[in-house]
Amino acid sequence: MMPTRTRSRRVPRAVAVIALLAATLFLVLTSCPSQRDGIPGRLATAKEETQSAARSGAVSIQLWLERRSTRQLACVQLADARDEITKAFKGVATLTPDSAADLRRQAELTSMMTSLIDDLNTAAMAVRTSAGQPDVRELRQRLLTRVDTLEREYR
């Protein structure tokens, strides 16, 4: 059996460690925009979903160009990416920002989402028809450039 003195020292240390871990977790979660409530969090979440969907679309084009994917699969993946951005767009478009910064972020994000949806639709048509116009490689690069721009300029 442990002496009472040793046990009494360990209990406050354990409580202090648990409290420190809980405080750290709380600070991490509240500082992450996608975990915050309200418009900033919803905009950040929609931005992340948009970036992910656009990158998935670019990967599906790349796989199709490398003949590692079928035309049908690439078209379905491009349509899925477009649908994900459209779903995120609907969530963002209905927000009513209460600050100028949130309004600017909403406008910037919806504009980029619209461009990405257009690019994904054009890429799906180009893959489906294989007419060579517009160039699918250029569309893939445009998707990646837009995502990089969104990542860099969205604040």
Residues 17 and 47 in one domain: no
Rounded mean pLDDT of 97-124? 96
User: Which of 49-53, 78-82, 96-100 has the least mean pLDDT?
Assistant: 96-100
Looking at per-residue confidence, does 49 or 28 come out higher? Answer: 49
Residues 114 and 147 in one domain: yes
Residues 49 and 27 in one domain: no
Residues 66 and 114 in one domain: yes
Residues 115 and 142 in one domain: yes
Residues 72 and 88 in one domain: yes
pLDDT, position 55? 98
pLDDT, position 34? 46
Return the CATH number at 124.
1.20.120
pLDDT, position 7? 57
Looking at per-residue confidence, does 18 or 16 come out higher? Answer: 18
90: containing domain: 39-153
The DSSP code for 148 is: H
Residues 110 and 135 in one domain: yes
Q: Band of the pLDDT at 37, cuts 50, 70, 90?
A: confident
Per-residue pLDDT reduced to its tens digit, 21-32: 666 666 655 555
Residues 1 and 24 in one domain: yes
Q: How many domains does the chain have?
A: 2
pLDDT, position 154? 86
The Cα–Cα gap between 41 and 39 comes to 5
- Please state, in angstroms and as integers, the Cα–Cα distance from residue 144 to each residue in 7, 60, 69, following that order: 59, 12, 19
Residues 19 and 63 in one domain: no
41: number of Cβ within 10 Å: 14
pLDDT, position 3? 59
Per-residue pLDDT reduced to its tens digit, 1-17: 555 555 566 666 767 66
Peptide bond into 134 cis (omega under 30): yes
Residues 26 and 43 in one domain: no
Residues 70 and 115 in one domain: yes
Residues 6 and 56 in one domain: no
65, 123 in Cβ contact below 8 A?
A: no
- Say if residue 98's pLDDT is above 50: yes
Rounded mean pLDDT of 40-62? 96
Q: Record the pTM.
A: 0.75
